[in-house]
Amino acid sequence: MHRVDQVRIAVVGVGRIGLTHAETLARRVRGAQLAAVTTSQPDRAAAACACCGPVAVYPDLESLLVAERLDAVVIATSTSAHAGNVERCAAAGVHIFCEKPLALTLPDCDRAIAAAACAGVKLMMGHVRRFDAGHLEAKRYIEAGAIGQPLVFRSISGDTDPPPPSFANPAVSGGLILDACYHDLYLARWLLADEVVRAFAEGDALVDEGVRSVGDVDNAVVSLRFARGAMGSLYVTRTARYGHDLRVEVIGDEGAVQVGYFRQTPVRLLDRHGVHHDMPRTTPDRLAEAFVAELQAFIDCLVLDAEPPVPGADSRTTVAVGLAATQAMHEGRPVAV
């Protein structure tokens, strides 16, 4: 593909994360020109134009690719559509940033990766927490030997409210572990610089009947074993009513490093009832700067004709772990990755 200086880009799907990507590209990423978005919902189209300025809106990917001359796309549709959309965009000769996970199955991951490679387009995955300042600093500490040999990875990922059943449906999202625990799975692999060889999980719909009605769970605990012996303990929930709770800890034989915070703004109210402060409520609240950094990295790799920092193969490996943990939860036994 030819090198570009100004990347003409579109966002495919402007739900919660897609709208965040669109606004980020329109206002905060050097070298990006947001040309269009796709949505079939008038309210989402209005929201995109309100936060991004004048931008073309198309009802679907097909009409977008016919009408627009694009250098790249951001795919932010439902997970079940990711692989097919990657194939369509690769066939059209545009570079691809795809939200996580790449697909719901390993064969579909392979199909999407092969499509991009055969078309000669770049494919980068949306592993946003790898671009968060706190997680990057933790990675530097671990690589410098500050905590010695990593022994245990621990994490908490909590959304404040369950999604609608139409999204929670495992046929659409992959289920709680593959959808909401996915970030912790790739962080575990990245921070420990090791691969998962075995997974086990317990989960249930303890709170939300809508989630239960489609066969998903709203709370789960995942246990991992790594190739070099380290262990992982991951808790994921869709019912953290107090805020969007993201925490990571890596414990080594010489110390530990922790990432996470409970305050969105640096202010506390002290009164006769106690001490009060706010909390991040959404993923964009908690990871706003990381969303900018990852999209800037994608645009930079196009401008400089460099390799994407998070290739499709990285998502495939994470999907393999997520699928093993999900299988383990349903079958009640450890599953090899």
H runs (alpha helix) in 193-282: 209-213
Of the candidates 223, 177, 24, 13, the residue with the CA atom closest to the CA atom of residue 98: 13
What's the whole-model pTM score?
A: 0.94
Instruction: List beta partners, residue 123.
Output: 96
Cβ pair 180, 158 in contact under 8 A: no
Of the candidates 113, 101, 153, the residue with the CA atom closest to the CA atom of residue 319: 101
Question: What integer pLDDT is reported at residue 4 of this predicted model?
Answer: 66
Averaged pLDDT of the chain: 96
Question: Residue 332, Cβ neighbours under 10 Å: how many?
Answer: 9
At 22-73, the pLDDT tens digits run: 999 999 999 999 999 999 999 999 999 999 999 999 999 999 999 999 999 9
Tokens of 207: 């709170």
Question: What integer pLDDT is reported at residue 306 of this predicted model?
Answer: 97
Tokens of 213: 């009605």
Show the domains of the chain with their CATH numbers: 7-121 (3.40.50.720), 130-287+318-336 (3.30.360.10)
Question: What integer pLDDT is reported at residue 265 of this predicted model?
Answer: 86
At 143-182, the pLDDT tens digits run: 999 999 999 999 999 999 999 999 999 999 999 999 999 9
Please say if the pLDDT value at position 1 is more than 50.
Answer: no
At 322-333, the pLDDT tens digits run: 999 999 999 999
What is the C-alpha separation between 305 and 5, in angstroms, rounded? 10
Q: Please state the rounded mean pLDDT for residues 169-196.
A: 97
Which residues, 6 or more positions from 279, have their beta carbon under 8 angstroms from its beta carbon? 242, 243, 244, 245, 262, 263, 264
- Backbone dihedral angles phi then psi of residue 129, each to the nearest 5 degrees: -70, -20
Please say if the pLDDT value at position 208 is more than 90.
Answer: yes
